[in-house]
């Protein structure tokens, strides 16, 4: 384990005095934060011992886990002592960066490595001698610009600003680490920081309350830029007006938006962040984003942000890398500070100011933009010094609690989950972790990391593995095991495929299933092919069994609900690698960087049936809430018949994966007596099926035990179909 947190915080302790320098008044007389009638507070730490009751196996690793919790409590105590508590500490954006008062503008930046600093921009003709900054004992540079004589701001709204520093690496212009907006001028590569302070009449005012968190999340994973059917970069406004109503109609109750934090390289999918507090200007203004979120709330949709705190862009011109001319400003120095596969910088989570920066960043998006929660990207990379690379996790607990574990990073995750759940009780926290870290979804006071959900990444990998095999090789028990293999009391977000599987170099499930036949045989006025029939049938079945058995929440990447053809390829030019090898680009073409929603809507195409099925599946979950039902029982996983049968709540799911065999009078075990009706049938003609079932038939149970169930009823189960039977009144 990395036990350096205490050492690092002690060595940087003078920066804790920043509270006396720049937060005077923040902890005194701050406005009371209220949810309903109750003040919002971050709960005090618990004893961290309940994890051993939940999972007794953890007792063998008590020394590591107790050390982890002591570190968490020690840092919480230090924040309480030096910063006035986590609530005040997480509002760094109120003092650092640009802040406006009645008298003028104050700009502060933490850059301890700089020898001198000046504020430059359009407002002073980029004159480095006009507005020199002063440095305090803790490495914070500061300048105050009084209002102009007419009372107007010294820096006009929308004008370009940077900080010019003389550093150990030379003189450089940098965008403020706390900048709220940045843009890329036509013909230029680096972005420019923008002083963003619109007049009151231009500021967006939220009109609609944030929805209450639903019991089960049905998440529509989205990317603003590629959300248009046209080959272009789409806008916040168009997404608000065109895509949000579609998401609502399809039956999803949450939208997860990627690539919000500004990133200079569009093809990074938003994961190489350059400006952490700035929403991407490619899609519009901050006010446009607020309007989008407000409209989503009006529709009853939660808005989750795909937030990147696991690494940072390698850019030095418009990112955090080498900000103050040193290698160790926000990041670890040397190899530990570089992610060799992602070509990005890695945060030093043991640094006091890094904690302030990242905690304030999470707070900013919840407070300023009314996001309803986060999907934390790359959490596995954060929690281990090997970043999960070239590492196979077998489930041995020693893999999670050893010297390769970055305790600093895990403690940061505990702190940020503390903050989120303390100040925003309805906010959602999802962690992308492929390792299966125990305690991941246990509350922090009980000794856990504190996430609400783990992203269940193994399921998508399993489907790709199976799609490379023949149908005869599919093992029903293997499918069930993968879908249900999770820790007790741990909630999961499950998906059959996400954006990862859609990227160039990989294939979506639809493309794995139907491949080149999708180009010629998706029109209803042309005969189908066996590959198309198989593909459409399995596309529906895979999604339903994943939602039915996989977890408490479900995710789908936009367009995949109707089997979007081909792949995602961002516009890009040729790229020269450090080795000198040149990777060809695609002539900056947007053709593969869009979503052809028109295909799913076209009544003359077979895509329409898959979209209709996905919509019916979402509305079935809305009606019955089966993903969070306490009652779940798998009664059959028959390898010869290729049949899976399970119960969730008052529903019975019957899957026949056999490629040719249909079964008459097939007995289905169940627990509850009464009459069952077909609630969803993947073979319905509306969904592109063959209508082999009569939906008017009533299915009455008999006291005939079957598959360890006390009762049963008989059904006809056609090949390659999934049917859901609901207990009626």
Distances (CA, A) of 642 to 495, 544, 651, 662, 668: 22, 16, 20, 10, 14
Question: CA 194 from chain center: how many Å?
Answer: 27
What DSSP string describes 448-481? S---SEEEETHHHHHHHHHHTS-GGG--HHHHHH
What is the rounded CA–CA span in Å between residue 577 and residue 247?
A: 40
Q: For 397, list phi and psi in degrees, rounded to 5.
A: -65, -20
What is the rounded CA–CA span in Å between residue 652 and residue 629?
A: 12
**Tokens coding 202:** 């231009």
Among candidate residues 405, 430, 407, 408, the one with its CA nearest the CA of residue 417: 430
Instruction: Outline where DSSP puts E strands in 440-501.
Output: 453-456, 492-494
- Tell me how crowded residue 37 is: count the other CB atoms within 10 A of its CB: 5
Q: For 69, list phi and psi in degrees, rounded to 5.
A: -75, -35
Query: Any catalytic annotation for residue 103?
Result: no
Instruction: Please report where in the chains the tokens 């107007």 appear, as a residue.
Output: 152
What is the rounded CA–CA span in Å between residue 245 and residue 257?
A: 15
From its phi and psi, is residue 721 left (phi > 0), alpha (psi between -120 and 50) or beta?
beta
How far separated are the first and last CA of the chain, in Å rounded? 57
Among candidate residues 388, 454, 463, the one with its CA nearest the CA of residue 417: 454
Q: Is 708 exposed, middle or buried (0-12, 13-18, 19+ CB in 10 A)?
A: exposed
Query: Any catalytic annotation for residue 432?
Result: yes
Among candidate residues 42, 33, 4, the one with its CA nearest the CA of residue 445: 42
User: Where are the alpha helices (H) located in 468-529, listed in sequence order?
Assistant: 476-484, 499-502, 509-514, 517-520
Among candidate residues 208, 341, 223, 352, the one with its CA nearest the CA of residue 282: 223
Which neighbouring-strand residues pair with 610? none
For residue 45, what are the contacts with CB-CB under 8 A and spacing of at least 6?
Answer: 69, 72, 73, 76, 444, 445
What is the rounded CA–CA span in Å between residue 139 and residue 110?
A: 6
Q: 68 near 411, Cβ under 8 Å? A: yes
Among candidate residues 432, 456, 499, the one with its CA nearest the CA of residue 223: 499
Question: CA 173 from chain center: how many Å?
Answer: 32
Q: 118 near 129, Cβ under 8 Å? A: yes
From its phi and psi, is residue 565 left (phi > 0), alpha (psi between -120 and 50) or beta?
beta
Please pick, among 432, 621, 650, 683, the residue that the annotation labels catalytic. 432
Instruction: Please report where in the chains the tokens 């006071």 appear, as a residue.
Output: 445
What is the rounded CA–CA span in Å between residue 109 and residue 178?
A: 8
Distances (CA, A) of 190 to 122, 266, 269: 16, 12, 17
What is the rounded CA–CA span in Å between residue 375 and residue 499?
A: 14
Please pick, among 262, 377, 490, 497, the residue that the annotation labels catalytic. 377
Q: Based on C-alpha coordinates, what's the Rg of the chain? A: 27
The residues annotated as belonging to the active site are 377, 432
């Amino acid at each position: 384990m990395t036990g350096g947190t205490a050492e690092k915080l002690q060595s940087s302790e003078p920066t804790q005095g920043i509270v006396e320098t720049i937060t005077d008044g923040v902890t005194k007389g701050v406005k009371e934060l209220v949810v309903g009638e109750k003040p919002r507070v971050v709960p005090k730490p618990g004893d961290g011992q309940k994890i051993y009751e939940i999972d007794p196996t953890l007792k063998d690793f008590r020394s590591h886990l107790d050390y982890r919790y002591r570190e968490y409590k020690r840092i919480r105590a230090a924040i309480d002592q030096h910063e006035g508590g986590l609530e005040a500490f997480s509002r760094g954006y109120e003092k650092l960066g640009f802040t406006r008062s009645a008298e003028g503008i104050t700009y502060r930046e933490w850059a301890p490595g700089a020898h001198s600093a000046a504020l430059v921009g359009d407002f002073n003709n980029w004159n480095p001698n006009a507005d020199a900054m002063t440095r305090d004992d803790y490495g914070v540079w500061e300048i105050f610009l009084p209002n102009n004589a007419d009372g107007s701001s010294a820096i006009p709204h929308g004008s370009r600003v940077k900080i010019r520093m003389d550093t150990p690496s030379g003189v450089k212009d940098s965008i403020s680490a706390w900048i709220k907006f940045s843009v890329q001028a036509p013909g230029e590569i680096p972005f420019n920081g923008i002083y963003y302070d619109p007049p009151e009449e231009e500021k967006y005012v939220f009109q609609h309350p944030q929805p209450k968190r639903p019991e089960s999340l049905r998440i529509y994973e989205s990317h603003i830029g590629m959300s248009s059917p046209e080959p272009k970069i789409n806008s916040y406004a168009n997404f608000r007006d065109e895509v949000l109503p579609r998401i609502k109609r399809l039956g999803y109750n949450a939208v997860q938006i990627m690539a919000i934090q500004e990133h200079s390289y569009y093809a990074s999918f938003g994961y190489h962040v350059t400006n952490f507090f700035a929403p991407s200007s490619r899609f519009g203004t901050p006010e446009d984003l607020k309007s989008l979120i407000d409209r989503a709330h009006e529709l009853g949709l939660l808005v989750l942000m795909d937030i990147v705190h696991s690494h940072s862009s390698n850019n030095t011109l418009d990112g955090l890398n080498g900000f103050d001319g040193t290698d160790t400003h926000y990041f670890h120095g040397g190899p530990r500070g570089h992610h060799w596969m992602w070509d990005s910088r890695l945060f030093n989570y043991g640094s006091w100011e890094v904690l302030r920066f990242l905690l304030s960043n999470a707070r900013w998006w919840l407070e300023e933009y009314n996001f309803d929660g986060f999907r934390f990207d790359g959490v596995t990379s954060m929690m281990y010094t090997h970043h999960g690379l070239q590492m196979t996790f077998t489930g041995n607990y020693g893999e999670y609690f050893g010297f390769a574990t970055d305790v600093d990073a895990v403690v940061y995750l505990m702190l940020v989950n503390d903050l989120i759940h303390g100040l925003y009780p309805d906010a959602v926290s999802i962690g992308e972790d492929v390792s299966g870290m125990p305690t991941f979804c246990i509350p922090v006071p009980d000794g856990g990391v504190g996430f609400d959900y783990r992203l269940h990444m193994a399921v998508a990998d399993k489907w790709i593995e199976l799609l490379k095999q023949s149908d005869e090789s599919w093992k029903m028990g293997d499918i069930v095991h993968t879908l249900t293999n999770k820790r007790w009391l741990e909630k999961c977000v499950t998906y059959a495929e996400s954006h990862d599987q859609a990227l160039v170099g990989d294939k979506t499930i639809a493309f794995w299933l139907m491949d080149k036949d999708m180009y010629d045989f998706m029109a209803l006025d042309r005969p189908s092919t066996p590959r198309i029939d198989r593909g459409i049938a399995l596309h529906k079945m895979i999604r339903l069994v994943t939602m039915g058995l996989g977890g408490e929440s479900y995710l789908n990447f936009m367009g995949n609900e109707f089997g979007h053809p081909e792949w995602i390829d961002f516009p890009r030019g040729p790229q020269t690698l450090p080795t000198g090898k040149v990777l060809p680009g695609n002539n900056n073409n947007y053709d593969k960087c869009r979503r052809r929603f028109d295909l799913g809507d076209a009544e003359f195409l077979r895509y329409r049936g898959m979209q209709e099925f996905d919509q019916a599946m979402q509305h079935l979950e809305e009606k019955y809430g089966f993903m969070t039902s306490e009652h779940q029982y798998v009664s059959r996983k028959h390898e010869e018949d290729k049949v899976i049968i399970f119960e969730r709540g008052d529903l019975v799911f019957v899957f026949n994966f056999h490629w040719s065999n249909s079964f008459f009078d097939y007995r289905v075990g169940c627990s509850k007596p009464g009459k069952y009706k077909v609630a969803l049938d993947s073979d319905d003609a509306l969904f592109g099926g063959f209508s082999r079932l009569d939906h008017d038939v009533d299915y009455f149970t008999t006291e005939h035990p079957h598959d360890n169930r006390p009762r049963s009823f008989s059904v006809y189960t056609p090949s390659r179909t999934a049917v859901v039977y609901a207990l009626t009144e």
